[in-house]
Structure 1
């Protein structure tokens, strides 16, 4: 996982990812090693162990602050921020294993802490080294640890951290490193929990080293704690306990330290036999056939599935940070948008073949990061039965049997998860990637009442046009400015592709997994350009690049979408997001488009910024969260029937369409990328340059 930041070197990262370019970069990276005769084996984190949940939560909340700063920058300057606010595109960890497998690489997904599995595999197979960026690889008694941050791919040179030399320098043995790591703080033992031991160690260290100490303060702490650890052991100490008896700590702290030390012990290490036995079966496993459990694990380990293993085998699932604007009250977080989809996936995995009995099924624990969610506890989400136009097939029939009839069942199960059963006739008539895109956009339209015709046009046109563009052509697209709303819509779409992948796996894979990958159906820069064009009121021919075949396919997809949504009471409306164009029920003056663009901008693009004040749940996360839950209850009461009632129920407090408390003027636009470049002419027509 530490390699992702180094692999993703594409210029654009905020719009949703330049996926074709990313895969090309991965291919070059892999070829550099294989051409030198080095075989690569990749491991990805497959689970978040409960003992590390709190550390995971702390990191996610910390990243939320950076995401908030990122959106503030976009809304103020209309451009992508610098590297100091860099965030990996949403879904990068989900889809990278599939990209590497498509390149012929060996890929594993962990069923416990990934660092442990990497270190264990490397020692078992006598690998030349572990390439990553995590100090834990120094603590495990495994093969040499090589820095990916220091890697020079052209020369294949990097820095090796020498475990033996470290031990000689700090006066410890390799077997004592796990206790040192725990006292310094790691993912199991929080840093603040052992502060008293470190403080006492520093006092003793300074007393024994009265001369001025040079070097970084952190280095002095490491030396001090290392000397303290060394003092706990005598030369003839035969204590087989993980924590020496001479370390006087409470029973609770001792147990915590033992758990931390156990996390570093590999098979064959002294004390490995003291490692706790694996956890007992979850409450979910009794509802699932053993063959399904086995298949789930195998798919998971081989990085061929998504979501199903954690749900079936542990009853928990999580999603890290997405690019979501906490001030945008118009767009729902992706966790809310795809909740009904996940519930149906859970229903397919857990309820199929159970005669619709749901009362004895425990809820799935969801740890999803979104604005307003304090992550103090998981959301408990119950599975929902999947409605199929046939007798309920069993899950093992969908997963393990063949034949045309079973193929039809699989497709029906997949489409029902997105409430798109009408699209079965399109299977085989259009490309699988377009069918997946159509299902996804339809689901978003049904769940997000503020999604407009222009937004749908942007989604569908980029999916249709992407098939004809190379990664080089996509890199040449120039954007006159960035829209914070389009950034969030791009992230929403990519997160949706993860749900499409999970639904496909749960349904027995009616569609090939590779067809669902973003490099086949999404590019952030292309989508952003289509969004700006669509909201500027351009003709559909220009939106589709003046390609008649693309235009015909676009109209076919949109007609099907509008027809399907119309049957469910969802009517798409036009809401162009120009700085002075009106929408339904409110004016766009709250969109916080940079005011310096002036009237001559003609609606080409938009940088949405929610103004301070006037919104009922802006600053307080819990208040915003309860609003999402209120929307959820409204939706469950009736499947979007009537539409307008649901839409008005969470509108900002408006009088004549103008949000209240909007006295602050929008911040000035300072973007630089406003000139027309080449064939993708999206630049605003200035009468004069904007004010600095």
Structure 2
């Protein structure tokens, strides 16, 4: 968040503090032989993700290339990079976090309305980053050999502390808090030109000269303007007083921008109340018009800017995290130590937040609040999260007196008011009867020959996919995880059709053979809102696979779970449109025999796993004008996926049994309002190329249309199965 209005003041009202710099020259003048630039990774995500397609789930291979070139530019210049990412959300900032999440949900609703109205991606004025971008970027940078850290407290504080302690040449970010900290120079990533390595340095000394304050008074200014600790509204009366006095003393009509007037007025007020006899320990002038509780809040906010070396004033430092893990009675000290180390070094995922913070969280996802067929990802993956919590908190404690408290979940999805955390109970992992239940310490630290197989079985069982252990070693790890994820999604969402699942599997198989350039050249004739949500669902699923893998002792390399190995949004969208248009498998797999063979193997295992669990997969291309309500067996509804859904459907219409997770009124003509025949734009694979699909106006549909005369897709529901693959070696060999 930074300091309210200060960044705008710097950019528009204080040009003397905005100094153009050449980073190569800065590095050459730096005292260190290996100058280090500390990078605020969260602030760089918008700068890094410059791929044309952001709506379909992410162009991950292209994004990896962008990161590689970005890192290489600094490496060639002799600049060492150290990256920091947010590892936790400070609970004192939860109110701000929730407010932002609701705002983004509103923007996502506008995005889906635009897609359904225009059949294309909106411009950058109405955009959001792909789901999971921050999490996967930290792993991507690690894979590129970079030094990356996840924070265990306020990330800005850790960045400023590291830069100060290590004498870094600067902090690259876009957060005005960095000019408040007495740390390394604050450099703008928004103004960075990667081709020339030039940007703008915000000079705190020149800022203070222009507003008439000492650098030691900047924390007070930040708190009175409003920041993450002291909200803007809490000090409104102080700013009003400052503005009144500022106007009285103005010699001429005020011509400053509103941001400039506020910053200057508060600065003048602070300067007037800061007498020469004030002691260094007097953080707040006694004459400042604030209550006792507001004074305490101000002190906490000021102390949050005090870095190591300023401990004398840190009695109210809110940055220090709790040293008592939330679930220290449920796991060993060795587990707690290891999970914290892995978290900081970006070698873990989810586990630290659960064991140390007692919580899990997930930000906004591209989900259509008006689509009653698809469950939000938070509910789709809730059963597997319960098993992850069970693996972490219950293993080895069955029958004991330890009663692990529920995990607090802050997951954003349509209809969740986020007024309080969901309390989610851990559920034991159901391992095969032939498998002895291992302790968490054995899974994490065991070295016996049986341990690798136990880790893999535990991981697969979290998703009810232990059948697939026989595939380990015979197919690539990334294909095994893709199969596991798609099977889990198929079991959780009863409205998914064979076409949907074929789109998932075919794109994962074909992706291995495509370069980033080839993926960029894919032309999408139109966009389907349903496919957009399914793409984001897959990527969120990879995050859950990553968490389960870490909890299970990492039976699979983290690289196998990265999206650039099994997902590309544009490729998936093209496969989705093709699958629903009725092309045969050969066309779907682009005529590649090896891809077709692997695809059939994966699909055979998917179909069999679903069949044994009572899930019958059906073809449902959904011809236009013949939409019907989703069918459920025995009165089942998707709302049953969340036992608390009926109590927390705020902002949604009442759902009815047998109609999906949240029902919407049917439109005229037997299909949902706003989902028509796509203006007659259908794909006839016998007479058109895919690139020419849909000439004319954009569709208004959440499922692609189908040519009325199109013949049924071969082998739908009756598969020609590929021969079973040979028995794999034991896991871990």
Whether TM-score is above 0.5 comes out as: yes
Deviations 1:163-222 (A, max 9, x none): 111111111112211111111111111111111110111001111114112221111100
Which of 130, 140, 151 matches 2:171?
Answer: 130
Residues 680, 247 of structure 1: alpha-carbon distance in 2 compared, 3 angstrom cutoff: farther
Deviations 1:288-330 (A, max 9, x none): 1111011111000001111000000010111111100111111
Task: Work out which of the residue numbers 638, 659, 670 in structure 2 matches 1:658.
Answer: 670
Partner Cα separation in structure 1 for residue 334 and residue 675 of structure 2: 62
CA distance in 1 between counterparts of 2:533 and 2:661 reads 22
Pairs within 5 Å for 1:580-591: 580=625, 582=627
| Offset at residue 583 of structure 1 (A) | 6.0
Residue aligning to 1:188: 229
Bigger mean CA offset, 167-176 vs 235-244: 235-244
Instruction: Pick from 169, 189, 192 the counterpart of residue 210 of structure 2.
Output: 169
SS at match of 2:443: helix
| Contact kept in structure 1, 2:112 and 2:529, CA below 8 Å | yes
8 A contact 1:98–1:303 mirrored in 2:
yes
Q: CA deviation at 1:498?
A: 0.3
Asked if residue 290 in structure 1 is aligned to residue 318 in structure 2, the reply is no
Q: Judge which range, 21-30 or 260-269, deviates more.
A: 260-269
Match of 2:275 among 213, 234, 245: 234
CA contact (8 A) 1:500 1:516 kept: yes
Specify the alignment match of 2:285 in structure 1: 244
- Deviation for aligned residue 1:269: 2.2
Taking structure 1 as the reference length, the TM-score comes to 0.88
Hey, what does 1:44 align to over in structure 2? 85
- How far apart, in 1, do the equivalents of 2:277 and 2:206 lie? 23
Q: 2:247 aligns with which of 206, 223, 241?
A: 206
- d(CA) in 2 for partners of 1:24 and 1:53? 34
Structure 2 residue 306 is the aligned partner of structure 1 residue 265: yes
* Residue range with higher mean Cα deviation, 548-557 or 271-280: 271-280
Q: Distance in 2 between matches of 1:655 and 1:224?
A: 56
Matched position secondary structure for 1:285:
coil
The match for 1:554 is: 599
Whole-angstrom distance in 1 between the partners of 2:499 and 2:304: 51
Kindly indicate whether the alpha-carbon contact (under 8 Å) linking 2:452 and 2:555 is maintained by their aligned counterparts in 1. yes
Aligned partners of 2:367 and 2:376 also within 8 Å: yes
| Structure 1 unaligned regions, length at least 5 | 587-616, 631-644
SS in 2 for 1:386: coil
1:455 to 490, 495, 500: 500
Shift of 1:553: 1.0
Q: Pick from 530, 542, 564 the counterpart of residue 519 of structure 1.
A: 564
SS across alignment from 1:535: helix
Kept after mapping to 2: 8 A contact 1:477/1:680: no
Q: Does 1:622 align with 2:662?
A: no
Distance 1:332 1:401, change over 3 A: same
Q: Which residue of 1 aligns with 2:585?
A: 540
Alignment-derived partner of residue 191 in structure 2: 150
Q: Summarize deviations over 1:108-156 as a string: whole Å, max 9, x none.
A: 1000111000000001111110010000001111110000000011110
User: Is the CA contact (8 Å cut-off) linking 2:117 and 2:699 kept in structure 1?
Assistant: no
The residue aligned with 2:708 is none
Contact 1:152 1:158 in 2 (8 A): yes
CA, structure 1 residues 357+452, in 2 after alignment: closer, same or farther (shift >3 Å)? farther
Whole-Å Cα distance in 1 between the matches of residues 484 and 93 of structure 2? Answer: 36
Residue 388 of structure 2, aligned match among 345, 348, 363 = 345
Residue of structure 2 in register with 1:78 after alignment: 119
Q: Which residue of 1 aligns with 2:415?
A: 372
Contact 1:576 1:583 in 2 (8 A): no
- Count of aligned pairs: 639
1:391 Cα deviation after fit? 2.2
2:693 is aligned with 1:684: yes
Checking the alignment, whether the CA contact within 8 Å between 2:465 and 2:484 is kept in structure 1 is: yes
Instruction: Report what 1:602 is aligned to.
Output: none
What is the rounded CA distance, in whole Å, between the counterparts of 2:94 and 2:502 in structure 1? 40
Counterpart of 1:400 in structure 2 is 445
> 2:108 matched to which residue of 1?
67
3-state SS of the aligned residue for 2:163? Answer: helix
Could you say if the C-alpha distance between residues 69 and 356 of structure 1 is closer, same or farther in structure 2, counting changes exceeding 3 Å? farther
On the 8 A contact 1:296/1:309 being kept in 2, the answer is yes
CA contact (8 A) 2:306 2:314 kept: no
Give the Cα separation in 2 of the matches to 1:485 and 1:260. 44
1:652/1:659 contact within 8 Å kept: no
Look up the SS of the partner of 1:563 in the other structure.
helix
| CA shift for structure 1 position 680 | 7.0
Corresponding position of 1:609:
none
Gaps of 5+ in 2: 1-41, 632-644, 701-733
Secondary structure in 2 matching 1:42: strand
SS in 2 for 1:211: coil
Aligned counterparts of 1:175 and 1:357: Cα–Cα separation in 2: 55
Q: Any idea what SS the aligned residue of 1:2 has?
A: helix
The structure 2 residue matched to 1:436, chosen from 481, 494, 498, is: 481
Tell me whether 1:139 sits opposite 2:184 in the alignment.
Answer: no
1:488 aligns with 2:533: yes
CA distance in 1, matches of 2:214, 2:492: 58
Q: Whole-Å Cα distance in 1 between the matches of residues 255 and 106 of structure 2?
A: 34
Alpha-carbon distance, 1:272 to partner: 3.7
Retained in 2: the 8 A contact 1:32–1:154?
Answer: yes
Post-superposition shift, 1:374?
A: 1.1
Residues 1:358 and 1:364: Cα distance change in structure 2 (over 3 Å)? farther
Which residue of 565, 568, 573 maps to 1:528?
Answer: 573
TM-score in terms of structure 2 length: 0.83
Tell me which of 474, 479, 483 is aligned to 2:524: 479
The 1:7/1:92 distance shift into structure 2, 3 A limit, reads same
**Structure 2: distance between partners of 1:691 and 1:647:** 25
**Could you tell me which residue of structure 1 aligns to residue 70 of structure 2?**
29
CA contact (8 A) 2:505 2:599 kept: yes
Instruction: Mark the CA change 1:264 to 1:545 in structure 2 (over 3 Å): closer, same or farther.
Output: same
Correspondence for 1:112 among 153, 156, 161? 153
Residues 318, 470 of structure 1: CA spacing in aligned structure 2 closer, same or farther, 3 A cutoff?
same
Say if 2:92 and 2:229, in contact at 8 Å, map to a contact too.
Answer: yes
Q: Secondary structure at the match of 1:558?
A: helix
Q: Residues 119 and 140 of structure 1 are in contact (CA less than 8 Å); yes or no, is this contact kept in structure 2?
A: yes
- Corresponding position of 1:9: 50
User: How far apart are the structure 2 equivalents of 1:180 and 1:87?
Assistant: 32
The two structures, once aligned, show a CA RMSD in angstroms of 2.8
How far apart, CA to CA, are the structure 2 residues paired with 1:208 and 1:270? Answer: 38
Q: Bigger CA drift: 504-513 or 559-568?
A: 559-568
> Which range is displaced more, 148-157 or 392-401?
392-401
- Which residue of structure 2 aligns with residue 382 of structure 1? 425
| Deviation for aligned residue 1:675 | 13
Give the corresponding residue for 1:92: 133
Q: Give, in whole Å, the separation in 1 of the partners of 2:243 and 2:667.
A: 63
Shift of 1:649: 8.3
Deviation at 1:17, TM superposition (A): 0.3
Is 1:411 the counterpart of 2:456? The answer is yes
Pick closer, same or farther for the CA change 1:582–1:622 going to 2, 3 Å.
closer
Q: Are 1:201 and 1:228, in contact at CA under 8 Å, matched by a contact in 2?
A: yes
Aligned counterparts of 2:684 and 2:164: Cα–Cα separation in 1: 55
Question: Aligned to 1:43, what secondary structure does the other structure show?
Answer: strand
Looking at structure 1, the residues matched to 362 and 623 of structure 2 have their Cα atoms a distance apart, in angstroms, of 33
Structure 2 equivalent of residue 312 of structure 1: 355
* 8 Å CA contact retained: 2:242, 2:265: yes
